[in-house]
């Protein structure tokens, strides 16, 4: 245990809490900081150490893992007098597992290098269930040597872990992931409404569809959400709205056309405007139901 690097974990939300707990289970010493006291209490109950500030959390850490909602939050915790870069020791490795713009990751890596601190961008896919079960897909951008150093730690969090290229590459791949997931959820939602309005046994239909070419991880993970109309957030519409903005902006910058993605981005935005931003992204079903005249 003493041979394992000391971990600081910043951001203990729906994903961060179970992920940090998986590191504790794997034998790592984890000191965490987040804004909510109940999340800090949960970390302490799991065997971690609650810090009172970012500076306190990172000062002795060999590896600093960050998992916060978006680019502004990453910048807030990284920069400034109380931020990670001013308080982490030289030689430390930051693994940012937030889903942010590729440019934010590139900028962070440059700023950290001036402080003698290394950075990997390592966003994840798999949702809350994947975080709890430690089967996340982790797409990484950065240097090969830093990836190799981080790999044992990442193995405690995920199942598919790939270095995708230089800084920002992990975020680019995550943006593509979010595009695929959103389009897939929307297609599933449309199929659910079509099947129900046709009078078909929905459970039976989704089972047989998931056994063929229409099957997907999305359908496997979200089938019960659709059947039970249970939209407790595993991944909130608000966050997927942010991610669809990232992918559409990044695609525009490289000259890639996303005709279907653009439509789904608007449907996600519409759902958020209607007050469903705090629901799970499987709640795209609610948008299809509204368009189809269903009473919600």
In this predicted model, what pLDDT tens digit does every residue of 83-97 receive, in sequence order? 999 999 999 999 999
pLDDT value at position 156?
98
Q: Specify whether 22 is located in the same domain as 150.
A: yes
Could you give the number of structural domains in the chain? 2
Q: Which residues are catalytic?
A: 174
| C-alpha of 234 from chain center | 10
49: left (phi over 0), alpha (psi -120 to 50) or beta: beta
CATH number, residue 24: 3.40.50.720
Last residue within a domain, chosen from 166, 197, 219: 166
Which domain range does residue 38 map to?
7-166
pLDDT value at position 2?
59
Q: Is residue 80 part of a domain?
A: yes
What pTM was estimated for this model as a whole?
Answer: 0.92
pLDDT value at position 295?
76
In this predicted model, what pLDDT tens digit does every residue of 190-219 receive, in sequence order? 999 999 999 999 999 999 999 999 999 999
Give which of 231, 221, 222 is closest to 283, Cα–Cα.
Answer: 231
Share of residues in the chain with pLDDT > 70 (%): 99
Q: Is residue 2 part of a domain?
A: no
| C-alpha of 99 from chain center | 6
- Write down the mean pLDDT value for the chain: 97
| Distance, CA of 152 to CA of 54 (rounded, Å) | 24
Q: Specify whether 15 is located in the same domain as 139.
A: yes
């Amino acid at each position: 245990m003493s041979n394992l690097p000391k971990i600081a974990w910043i951001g203990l939300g729906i994903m961060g809490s179970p992920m940090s707990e998986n590191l504790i289970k794997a034998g790592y010493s984890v000191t965490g900081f987040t804004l909510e006291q109940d999340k800090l209490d949960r970390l302490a109950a799991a065997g971690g150490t609650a810090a009172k500030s970012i500076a306190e959390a990172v000062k002795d850490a060999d590896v600093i893992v960050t998992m916060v909602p978006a680019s502004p939050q990453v910048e807030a915790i990284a920069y400034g007098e109380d931020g990670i870069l001013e308080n982490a020791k030289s030689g430390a490795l930051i693994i940012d597992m937030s889903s942010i713009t590729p440019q934010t990751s590139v900028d962070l890596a440059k700023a950290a290098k001036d402080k003698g601190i290394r950075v990997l961008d390592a966003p994840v896919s798999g949702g809350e269930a994947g975080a709890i079960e430690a089967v996340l897909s982790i797409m990484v951008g950065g240097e090969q040597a830093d990836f190799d150093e981080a790999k044992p730690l990442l193995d405690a969090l995920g199942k598919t872990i790939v270095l995708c290229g230089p800084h920002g590459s992990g975020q680019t791949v995550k943006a593509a992931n979010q595009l695929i997931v959103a389009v897939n959820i929307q297609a599933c939602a449309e199929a659910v409404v079509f099947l129900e309005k046709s009078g078909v046994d929905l459970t039976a239909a989704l089972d047989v569809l998931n056994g063929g070419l229409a099957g997907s991880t999305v359908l496997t993970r979200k089938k019960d959400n659709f059947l039970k109309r249970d939209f407790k957030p595993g991944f909130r519409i608000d966050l997927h709205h942010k991610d669809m903005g990232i992918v559409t902006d990044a695609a525009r910058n490289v000259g890639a056309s996303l005709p279907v993605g653009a439509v789904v981005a608007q449907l996600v935005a519409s759902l958020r405007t209607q007050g469903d931003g705090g629901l799970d992204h499987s709640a795209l079903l609610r948008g299809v139901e509204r368009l189809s005249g269903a009473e919600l």
